[in-house]
Structure 1
Amino acid sequence: MNMSKRFIYGLVSLATIAMAGSSLAQNSPTPGGTLNMIAQPEPPVLMVGLNSQGPTLYVGGQIYQSLLSYGKDLKILPSLAKAWEASDDGLTYTFTLQDGVKWHDGKPFSADDVVFTADKFLREAHPRWRYIANTYVETITSPSPDKVIFKLKKPFSAFLYAFELSSFPVVPKHIYEGTDYRTNPANQTPIGTGPFKFKEWKRGSYIHLVKNEDYWKEGKPYLDELYFRIVPDAASRGVAFEKGAVDVLRGGDVEGFEVRRLSKLEGVTTTTEGWEMYSPLVFLQMNLRKAPFDNKLVRKAVMHAINREFIVKNVWFGLGEPATGPLASTTRFYTKDTTSYPFDLNAAKKLIAESGIKPQEHTIRLMPIPYGSQWDRMAEYVRQQLEQLGFKVNIQAVDAGGWSQALSDWNFDVTFNFTYQYGDPALGVARHYLSSNIIKGTPFGNNGGYSNSKVDELFLAAAEAVQTDQAAKAYAEAQKILTDEVPIGWLFEQRNVTIMRDKVKNLVRTGIGVNESMDEVWIAK
């Protein structure tokens, strides 16, 4: 298959996408109503262009939009772009924008906003887009108010998958041009083009969004308002749903055993769909800049010392699959032909002895990701396993902002993270391993400091491949090298469950699930 083949897409209605587990056959959505959800943990900011942590994206996804969206089959769908076209040589991409779009402050949206977003704001502030723009993009121009043209320096086979909401949130030029993006006051009162507008953020209690009466899709959104409740305690979140104070629980809002219990309640629907674009893979992030994790044998020992099946079954209550390497099994170009690390403490201790490292001389700071008690329990388990290898381990508790800052500044020994695959390894996977992406300021780059010129070469060759088999060959070789060198300790692939009341209709429509604009969500009376 020629990967630079011409793509021309017309208008597509997102309403045609089916949602498993809900009745979309009803032809008369009921306008009005309030949808109550949970933001867990409380996000540090709602500006998606500056922070793409899960809670920020969940709330911010109703405020901001991108040019494109993606179906559960990863088919490319329209959002702020109604049509798009790629040249035969794969070097020129032309986007035609929707008509009549306005920012929440009433200013007209135009191609100038997209050019500013791509060439200025995200090039500076967004690690994934910065890499794509600096590596592949030659120019970004606007020949008319409704058209944007990207000219590439060389082919990039994943380019049309680079416009998912968290990767390319379009921001208002008139608000951010000439300012310090990170300190702009609009970050606290976000202005987007989405179906809901920011109303109020009562810290520690709720985030309130209201219907955008000037939304560019006529007659939508159906809902009047959204509340994202801040409920720090997992048990209390389950009670809130059970008593009807909350209508939706997304993956991670409650613990695994609560997922089982709440899913069986009368009038409740569940689905594992809506994660196809992300395919999250949880990993142990080690700082390779210093001992003991600068030693490959230590990293291999850690992999043997952690029972990934135990983590999935006992910490996450079966909501996952043990990972085998850097790519999720649901992602293009995944291969099983890699180095494996079965749970084997004896093998782990032998590798530690061979490494020359004296574990008792090292005190490791283990920083859990602050997303709930399951992550805390996993930290306790990992500490126990590292201590069995002879290391001293201190668990370092931080909030969401502190975790992001520490990882961004490389101020950590070991932490947890999870990568979204974004439909293609060039977008979601390579960023954690490319030496060119060792950049301070983001928790989602090459934070461990791994550098291997051969791996760099293979990822770049795969991304620029014209033929699919060429890309597959390069990705397969990269996976073999990475699983041998273990720059990251891959743990498991998440299988998230969204739980909702039957009255909530049309919630999970695309491959980005509850992060999708909820303009077509309605509540049955």
Structure 2
Amino acid sequence: MNRREFTAAILAGSAALPFGITRAVGQTRGGTLNTIIQPEPPVLVTALNQQQPTLTLGGKIYESLLKYGPDLKPMPGMAKSWEISPDGLTYTFKLFEGITFHDGKPMTSEDVVFSCMQVLTQTHPRARNNFARVASAEAPDPLTVVFKLKQPFAPFLGCFDCTSAPILPKHVYEGTDFRKNPMNDKAIGTGPFKLKEWVRGSHVHLVRHDGYYLKDQPYLDEIIYRVIPDAASRALALENGTVQLVQWSDIEFFDVTRFKKQANLEYTTNGYEYFAPHQWLEMNNRIAPMNDKRFRQAVMHLIDRDALNKRVYFGNAKIATGPISSKTRFYDGNVKKYEYSLDKAKALLDEMGLKPGANGKRAEIKYVVPPYGEVYQRAGEFFRQSFSRVGIDLVLVGTDMAGWAEKVGNWDYEMTQNLLYQLGDPALGVSRTYISTNIKKGILFSNTQGYSNPEVDRLFEEAAVALDEKKRQELYTKVQQILVEDVPVAWTLELEYPIFYDKSLKNVVTTAIGSHETFGVVHKS
């Protein structure tokens, strides 16, 4: 079966669904946007799952109090205004009037307090740390939310995008097991689009939420996210106009140059400022030989990251130097450097006693390949070849999206590749991976590798509550130096993902979260 036949076979099952963007002549709004979701998310409720496909699709369904511009400054979301007390401890948000959930029930400050303080503290790896800093959260009236912090927390206003603090309906979730609530399949939020149907393996169909509180939004009638597992078929769907928008890894990196030349498409790497995607090899620090930092240091030496960028990511990345992205505040590149050196890698392995056996093999390690597209399989092959040069047999293990999340979240893995968001401030997107209080079994994108260092814990905590920018930089510089010495994970690349969309589409990228946004203002010219 060639790629055109493969695409036809995939799309035949949803032939009744509209393709392209259509709207009646003279209308100021309307139409259908076809796009891709890949891999298919295990669930659509963003409070329960923070994998990228869930957040991309769920951003149209769930909202939070704020949005963030490309400069990462806060903008109104469901909160039309906010105030901070002079002592930096009290944050008061005023909500827009007339916000309703997709089931018609009003959304009030009670839903915000319930979501932030009860749901997200249990289910969300980064929100749980953010809201643990709240001494009390109150709803003095239906349109007012008041958070009182235990102590100042400099980046608190950065905690409220739709991926970090999605608001769920209290009347649906209160008193239930949040992860097993039968209404999870309905995905009830307040966003401009609501779930019409989810045909697993085929598509997720969103339609306009007619009760949306912002005038005239959304402009589109519907969005159809099509599940297209094959990379060549995804590329063909964009090429022939079957879909009009791709994001993240929908298009493989080797195809970026080709599509940049396609006349009907716009190309941008904007819309990822809040995330600053940071990639690494994740090693379970609980298991030998990964529990020895000399092994982890050897891994940094045996990976030719420049070659990884050129051969696997086709230059769409920058070499990572440590835990904080160069695109994020408080980055300091003046840290220990690990140049590509097989000799240094072998010397470290020999020093720790991990010497080659009679067959030349030092160790065998199972590597779980993330199921996010062909590039991850290629990266896995690259790592396998890299490790083999020093006598380590990296065994690639395949799984689906839910299986990968379960294995990594429950520490049932030896090595994998991971990518996390930086979220504009190390206190929000970086510390969660390394602080020992975030070693929580069953929660993905937490400290799943099990790294623990009391000094790192202290530095991250002091930096989070410090209000002086110079002091924060000093603390984050120290923590970067320690982590680069300890190598809890092997940082590889700062990725630059593309967004391609049909030139007839307007307002596709309007904030720092790009394709994760609500799409309420997206329309066709």
TM-score exceeds 0.5:
yes
Q: In the aligned structure 1, how far is the partner of 2:384 from the partner of 2:35? A: 33
Structure 2 match to 1:406: 407
**Map 1:10-159 → 2, pairs under 5 A:** 30-134=28-132, 136-159=133-156
Structure 1 match to 2:521: 520
Q: Determine whether 1:173 maps to 2:170.
A: yes
Structure 1, residues 102-159: CA drift from partner, whole Å, max 9, x if none?
A: 110100110010011011111111121212222x110011111110111111111111
Q: Which amino acid aligns with 2:267?
A: T
Q: In the aligned structure 2, how far is the partner of 1:479 from the partner of 1:361? A: 30
Q: Determine whether 1:337 maps to 2:338.
A: no
Q: In the aligned structure 1, how far is the partner of 2:254 from the partner of 2:127? A: 38
Q: Which amino acid aligns with 1:138?
A: A
Where 1:90 maps in the other structure, the secondary structure is: coil
Where 1:200 maps in the other structure, the secondary structure is: strand
Q: In the aligned structure 1, how far is the partner of 2:413 from the partner of 2:460? A: 27
Q: In the aligned structure 1, how far is the partner of 2:340 from the partner of 2:443? A: 32
Q: Which amino acid aligns with 1:183?
A: K
Deviation at 1:202, TM superposition (A): 0.8
CA contact (8 A) 2:280 2:489 kept: yes
Q: In the aligned structure 2, how far is the partner of 1:496 from the partner of 1:417? A: 15
Where 2:500 maps in the other structure, the secondary structure is: strand
The answer to which of 251-260 and 44-53 deviates more is 251-260
CA contact (8 A) 1:30 1:523 kept: no
Deviation at 1:362, TM superposition (A): 2.8
Deviation at 1:357, TM superposition (A): 2.1
Q: Determine whether 1:307 maps to 2:304.
A: yes
Q: Which amino acid aligns with 2:513?
A: I
Structure 1 match to 2:393: 392
Structure 1 match to 2:268: 271
Instruction: Specify every segment of 5 or more residues in structure 1 that has no aligned partner in the other structure, as ranges.
Output: 1-27
CA contact (8 A) 1:274 1:511 kept: yes
Structure 2 match to 1:470: 471
Structure 2 match to 1:197: 194
Deviation at 1:392, TM superposition (A): 2.1
Deviation at 1:196, TM superposition (A): 0.4
Q: In the aligned structure 2, how far is the partner of 1:490 from the partner of 1:29? A: 50
CA contact (8 A) 2:191 2:212 kept: yes
**Map 1:96-495 → 2, pairs under 5 A:** 96-134=94-132, 136-358=133-355, 360=361, 362-495=363-496
Q: Which amino acid aligns with 2:70?
A: K
Structure 1, residues 66-94: CA drift from partner, whole Å, max 9, x if none?
A: 11110001010110111111111111111
Instruction: Specify every segment of 5 or more residues in structure 2 that has no aligned partner in the other structure, as ranges.
Output: 1-25
Structure 2 match to 1:12: none
CA contact (8 A) 2:47 2:124 kept: yes
Deviation at 1:210, TM superposition (A): 0.3
Structure 2 match to 1:25: none
Q: In the aligned structure 2, how far is the partner of 1:307 from the partner of 1:29? A: 54
CA contact (8 A) 2:362 2:391 kept: no
Where 1:35 maps in the other structure, the secondary structure is: strand
Structure 1 match to 2:10: none
Structure 1, residues 181-220: CA drift from partner, whole Å, max 9, x if none?
A: 1011121111110000100111111100001111101111
Q: Which amino acid aligns with 1:288?
A: N
Deviation at 1:361, TM superposition (A): 5.4
Q: In the aligned structure 1, how far is the partner of 2:471 from the partner of 2:454? A: 19
Q: In the aligned structure 2, how far is the partner of 1:411 from the partner of 1:257? A: 32
Deviation at 1:256, TM superposition (A): 1.6
Where 1:463 maps in the other structure, the secondary structure is: helix
Give the structure-1-normalised TM-score: 0.93
The answer to which of 418-427 and 124-133 deviates more is 124-133
Where 1:179 maps in the other structure, the secondary structure is: coil
Where 1:261 maps in the other structure, the secondary structure is: helix
Where 1:406 maps in the other structure, the secondary structure is: helix
CA contact (8 A) 2:125 2:444 kept: no
Q: Which amino acid aligns with 1:286?
A: M
CA contact (8 A) 1:84 1:96 kept: yes
Structure 1, residues 310-348: CA drift from partner, whole Å, max 9, x if none?
A: 111110111110100001101000001101111111111
Q: In the aligned structure 2, how far is the partner of 1:270 from the partner of 1:185? A: 40
Q: In the aligned structure 2, how far is the partner of 1:499 from the partner of 1:290? A: 41
Deviation at 1:29, TM superposition (A): 8.8
Structure 2 match to 1:7: none
Structure 1, residues 415-464: CA drift from partner, whole Å, max 9, x if none?
A: 01111001100010000000110001122000111000001000001001
CA contact (8 A) 1:45 1:188 kept: yes
Deviation at 1:358, TM superposition (A): 3.6
Where 1:121 maps in the other structure, the secondary structure is: helix
Q: In the aligned structure 2, how far is the partner of 1:98 from the partner of 1:185? A: 29
Deviation at 1:257, TM superposition (A): 2.3
Give the structure-2-normalised TM-score: 0.93
CA RMSD of aligned residues (A): 1.1
Q: In the aligned structure 1, how far is the partner of 2:302 from the partner of 2:433? A: 23
Q: In the aligned structure 2, how far is the partner of 1:186 from the partner of 1:401? A: 19
CA contact (8 A) 2:108 2:143 kept: yes
Q: Which amino acid aligns with 2:410?
A: D
Structure 1, residues 223-242: CA drift from partner, whole Å, max 9, x if none?
A: 00000000000010000111
Where 1:139 maps in the other structure, the secondary structure is: strand
The answer to which of 384-393 and 463-472 deviates more is 384-393
CA contact (8 A) 1:29 1:522 kept: no
Q: In the aligned structure 2, how far is the partner of 1:126 from the partner of 1:346? A: 42
Structure 1 residue runs of 4 or more that deviate by more than 3 Å after TM superposition: 358-361
